Structure 1
Amino acid sequence: MRSPRTTTAALALLFAASALSACGTDSSSASDGDKNVYALLPQGTDQPYGTEYLKAMNAEAEKEGISLTITNSQYDADKQASDCQVAVAAQPDLIILWPAVADTVRPCLERARAADIPVTITNSDVKEEDKSLTAGYSGPDTYGQGVSSAEIMCELADGQDINILQVEGLTGNTTAIDRKAGFEDTIAENCPNVTIVASQPGDWNKDDSQTVTSEMLTATGADNIQGIYAADDTMVAGAIDALSSQGLDVEEMLITSIGNTMLGNPLVVSGLLDGTVFQSSEWDGRNAITLAAKVLAGEELDGDLFMPSVKVTAANASDPEVAPNW
């Protein structure tokens, strides 16, 4: 099993954020720098995460002298493929790609390779077989996030035999795949007393997650379930609503998630959510440019640039260092 890559040095890097001065907009140019970069994203100011991500991305691009053109495919794989064609035709110095759907991005990567345009990946990595077509990755250690959430669950279970439900992310999305694998691998190795009795995708959506959790509770018998893992805070909020609607005592359940968002953090403080894993949209957007600048400068990269997977529980949920920013 892979291990989470949280270190003291990485944690210090996470909180060494630069001051933000630019506002993020879709299809925008952030500066008149001497390097032209296309950023092919699946979200933008239409999402809380994307809004803060873009602010940080634009601010860092201005500092680095990078002129950005930003697109938002809204998780439409066909639109992102079209955006990629436009980007390659424009012959930028580099493309930053946040894959909308990992299974569909190889033609984009091959097109860029043929045009001798380096591509860096941000937020959600490509499939392993496609990594040779990329210049590097910056963003969450999505497998490590699943590991960290599972470690919280194992500690909560404390050797007791319990049954839990799993609410996965969007089918085919590498973040969803990695977070599921990290969680399941760690449960199997560290606390086999925890059994995942049912698992369904919640598609990163609160309402869908409430629906699939209700369906799993009905199928397995609500009284047989003692916990839930959801692959992000939006989905865990829906799962908690499903538990409440069936009259279950949420505070007695063992519940973990990922994100530490403005939705999830208050749930941890209130005791409804036992633990989540910190993710910073500001770090993500800023380091997408940090990595791009390194590649443009011809610097040798020492592996992927991972965001630390910091565990957030009742013990530290109110600390300023892990205050949510999206």
Structure 2
Amino acid sequence: MKRVLTAVLSIASVGVLAACGSGPVPSGSSGGGGGGGQITMGFSQVGAESGWRTANTTSIQDAAKAADVNLKFSDANGEQENQISAIRSFVQQRVGVIAFSPVVRTGWDAVLLEAKNAGIPVILTDRAVDTQEKDVYKTFIGADFVQEGKWAGEWTAKEYASAPGPVNIVQLEGTTGSDPALERTTGFADAIKTNPNLKIIASQSGDFTRSGGKQVMEAFLKANPKIDMVFAQNDDMGLGAVEAIEAAGKKPGQDIKIVAIDATHDGMQATADGKFNFLVECNPLLGPQLMDIAKKVVAGEAVPARIVTKDQTFDQAQAKAALPDRKY
């Protein structure tokens, strides 16, 4: 009887321990397979739609290795549904922290609330979200997209300050509903209001891709016999516009001026070559900063709700000078 009782008590003890360990993993635990206090981060990327995004992904992956962060990486291929599924998977795996760059601004309330209820902190990178839920993410690391649009618009207003008549501008927008597309549009429009001659005669999404920018620009050229300038909301769409302009027998940078945002290596080269006229930077190398903030968040330290990355602008001469040392 004593042996039986001892066995029963042992089984009961194991059951109690198992039950205690089955609850939510506290924020900051290794989770998802990381051992020895190592942080596990679940990261959902928008996709690989541009040179900027590729550089951003590389920066995050390299920084995770350098910081000894166990990175679980998911590529959404530009689909919000894929990101939501990835985030739910990270919650189920009980990672220590979740970071993601949202495809669009809206539609995140439910999944963010799931992460919050599981005790897993969330960090937004590159793009922000609109949410009705409180305290569902710790911070947002990224550029000021409105300011980027304003810099592009201010250069445009200055460049055409003495234009004798209307200046026809076409706009290549980013992914519909995305944070940078919305805010760069707003910033640019606000800045060019200072010059009533500046007119946006056509605006359409090229989805932040080179092929999309080329296709939309081809349509613009067919529909509008006089185009003076292109505002491309990223380098890749601007490079697509260059191809379309050249195919139409015109010279980009001269017959039709181009202002773009990102300042990737290809965009810098186009500016140095005189095909782009002005370039606004959006630094993709967010990896080291993300890993530093993730460690603070997991440790329970207070972090700013908004962390703005530093960017700059380049004219053709500045791009030529900076190009040899460009890291992306």
Q: TM-score range by the shorter chain?
A: 0.7 to 0.9
For residue 109 of structure 1, report the CA deviation from its aligned partner: 0.9
Cross-structure match for 1:264 = 267
Say if 1:280 and 1:242 are closer, same or farther in 2 by CA, change over 3 A: same
Give the structure, 1 or 2, with the largest relative contact order (CA under 8 Å, sep 6 or more).
1
For residue 100 of structure 1, report the CA deviation from its aligned partner: 2.4
Output one character per residue of 1:147-169: Cα deviation in whole Å (capped at 9) or x when no partner.
Answer: 12112212211242411100101
Larger mean CA deviation between 191-200 and 162-171 belongs to 191-200
Cross-structure match for 2:172 = 167
Number of aligned residue pairs: give it: 294
Query: Aligned partners of 1:140 and 1:132: how far apart in 2?
Result: 21
Amino acid at match of 1:226: D
Aligned: 1:102 with 2:105: yes
Query: Aligned partners of 1:201 and 1:293: how far apart in 2?
Result: 37
Cross-structure match for 2:8 = none
Aligned: 1:81 with 2:80: no
Cross-structure match for 1:15 = none
Cross-structure match for 2:24 = none
Listed as ranges, the gaps of 5+ residues in structure 1 are 1-27
Aligned: 1:238 with 2:243: no
Cross-structure match for 1:290 = 292
Contact 1:206/1:236 (<8 A) preserved: yes
Query: Aligned partners of 2:311 and 2:203: how far apart in 1?
Result: 23
Larger mean CA deviation between 265-274 and 49-58 belongs to 49-58
Contact 2:108/2:131 (<8 A) preserved: no
Cross-structure match for 2:258 = 255
Cross-structure match for 1:310 = 312
Aligned: 1:196 with 2:210: no
Query: Aligned partners of 2:167 and 2:256: how far apart in 1?
Result: 10
Aligned: 1:137 with 2:140: yes
Contact 2:109/2:131 (<8 A) preserved: no
Say if 1:128 and 1:311 are closer, same or farther in 2 by CA, change over 3 A: farther
Amino acid at match of 1:237: L
Partner SS state of residue 104, structure 1: coil
Cross-structure match for 1:179 = 184
Aligned: 1:216 with 2:220: yes
Out of 205, 209, 213, which is 2:209 matched to? Answer: 205
Amino acid at match of 2:136: L
Identity of paired residues, percent?
24
Query: Aligned partners of 1:276 and 1:131: how far apart in 2?
Result: 37
Amino acid at match of 2:153: A
For residue 213 of structure 1, report the CA deviation from its aligned partner: 1.6
Output one character per residue of 1:77-102: Cα deviation in whole Å (capped at 9) or x when no partner.
Answer: 22211111111112222111111233
Based on CA coordinates, which of the two structures has the bigger radius of gyration?
A: 2
For residue 64 of structure 1, report the CA deviation from its aligned partner: 4.0
Cross-structure match for 2:63 = 60
